[in-house]
A and B are shown apart, each in its own frame.
Chain A
């Protein structure tokens, strides 16, 4: 139990639709990252938010976007869904600053695109 929650746990969409995934960070954590994990692969970094601004992005197209709110909860939005977007989406939070602060991952949202 990491204190990071994600909703929904599972979601089925069709190609071309849009989806919003939500993440609630652990209390006191001001930095959140999102990862995509395809079946049988390691998680791939999508982007990171710190103080409500994106400050790092992986190799994902602009149709992947996000928001971080003042209470440090976060959303991942994906537009124009493609079949390859089917994956487990993970969010991870941590407290910025200090010599090292480990990331705490949520259980993920399983997205299926038909």
Chain B
């Protein structure tokens, strides 16, 4: 499984944008980049995913470098509810039919200051 590297922790202020980086220098051409987050005392929840192009949804934006060796999850206006551990995960959907194996690293613990 290709490896991702994320900072252990980050801190930001409420209502400010947050940029969460992820390095994945060994990414293969068929790996999708996924982001999940885990709020305190909850299971992980899906945030966003992409392959090559930048992606936007109601929760966040995903900016993918042209060489795909890094990506950035962008929370446009952080709220206190965004305090969580954010995981950047690579997954090749073709490895096993129907596979949904996610390989989680340590993630980035995001703290939001009021």
Q: A residues near B, CB below 8 A?
A: 2, 4, 31, 33, 35, 41-45, 48, 50, 55-56, 58, 90, 92, 94, 96-97, 100-108
User: What interface size band does chain B fall in?
Assistant: 20 to 34
B42 touches A107 (CB 8 A): yes
Q: Which of B31-65 contact A (CB under 8 A)?
A: 32, 41-46, 49
Q: Known interface pairs A102-B46, A106-B43. Does A45 touch B106 (Cβ–Cβ under 8 Å)?
A: no
A31 touches B98 (CB 8 A): yes
A48 touches B45 (CB 8 A): no
A58: chain B residues within 8 A (beta carbon)? 101
User: How many Å lie between the Cα of A114 and that of B66 in the bound state?
Assistant: 50
User: How many Å lie between the Cα of A93 and that of B57 in the bound state?
Assistant: 21
A43 touches B104 (CB 8 A): yes
